[in-house]
Amino acid sequence: MTQAEYLNIVMPFKDKVFRLAKRLLVSHEEAEDATQEILMKLWKNREQMGTYRNVEAFAMTMTKNFCLDKLKSKHAQNLKIVHSNYQDKNLPLQKQVELRDSIDWVAKIVEELPEQQKIILQLRDIEQYEFSEIAKMLDMNETAIRVSLSRARKTIREELTKTHSYGVK
Average model confidence (pLDDT) across the chain = 80
Contact, 126 vs 137, CB < 8 A?
no
Please give the Cα distance from 57 to 69 (Å, whole number). Answer: 18
CB within 8 Å of 148: residues ≥ 6 apart: 116, 117, 120
Backbone CA torsion sign across 46, 50, 52, 54:
positive
Taking the model in full, what pTM does it have?
A: 0.53
CATH number assigned to the domain covering 1-78: 1.10.1740.10
* Rounded mean pLDDT, 93-100: 75
Q: Is the pLDDT of residue 81 over 60?
A: no
Q: Is the pLDDT of residue 7 over 90?
A: no
CATH tag for 91-169 (out of 1.10.10.10, 3.90.1150.10, 2.40.50.100, 1.10.3720.10): 1.10.10.10
17 burial type by CB count under 10 A (0-12 exposed, 13-18 middle, 19+ buried): buried
**Could you report the per-residue pLDDT of 18-41, keeping only the tens digit for each?**
998 888 887 888 889 999 999 888
Q: Is the pLDDT of residue 57 over 90?
A: no
Q: Which of 75-84, 121-130, 149-158 has the lowest mean pLDDT?
A: 75-84
* pLDDT at site 91: 64
How is the chain split into domains, by residue range? 1-78, 91-169
3-state secondary structure of 90: coil
Q: Can you state the angle between helices 3-10 and 55-72, rounded to 10 degrees? A: 80
